Amino acid sequence: MASEKVIVITGASSGIGAALAGQLGSRGQRLVLAARRERELRQVSEPFGRNALPVVADVCQRSQVENLRERALAEFGHVDVWINNAGTGIARKVMELTDQEFDEMLAVNLKSAFYGMQVIVPHFKERREGHLINLSSFLSRVPFVTFRSIYSAAKAALNSLTTQLRMDLAAEYPGIHISLVMPGVVTTEFAAKALREKRHRRRSRRGL
């Protein structure tokens, strides 16, 4: 069909990424789905047959993000939409964070999207069109759960990085669209875990 697009989704093995794959795949779009968990990733892609290419990838590694783009181009010839969705969180308030946790959360929630932007935008520039979508969170603006401190901070940085890229491209490349999506609470494993942690911390403060 003429409306078919080639869409890359990172973090596609569960949650929002898997839901996006399901909706887009059911509409006949061609999908390139990336995640670290191979079994779950194949389960998401299997219903769409040759219209879906699963690529096991750690998007915290630039070389693996570059390989993801090359696999997409080799399979489908071009990319229309690239969705940086991969992300994770931990339950730590600011004063509880270790250096390792800080670095890991920035890598998964910020640097992975940064790699995605730098990898796919040159392809969009060559075609003078394309759509980059970065998945952020309302927690980047609202301190609803303070123990998601570094996750929220990384997403706030992603908000700014996305806006800067949009401004950089707007004048010379009007056919390239840069979008930022900030979901609220959704019914995913990630959100359910955050709510459980919030209730647990409240009970702990009360001595329950």
Catalytic residue among 134, 151, 158, 180: 151
DSSP-derived letter for residue 139 is G
The answer to whether 79 and 56 are in contact (CB under 8 A) is no
Q: Letter for the amino acid at 12?
A: A
Residue 11: burial class (beta carbons within 10 Å; 0-12, 13-18, 19+): buried
Dihedral of CA atoms 6, 10, 12, 14 in degrees, nearest 10, equals -150
Q: Letter for the amino acid at 14?
A: S
Residue 181's DSSP bridge partners are 135
The answer to whether 73 and 126 are in contact (CB under 8 A) is no
- 151 labelled catalytic: yes
The residues that are catalytic are: 151
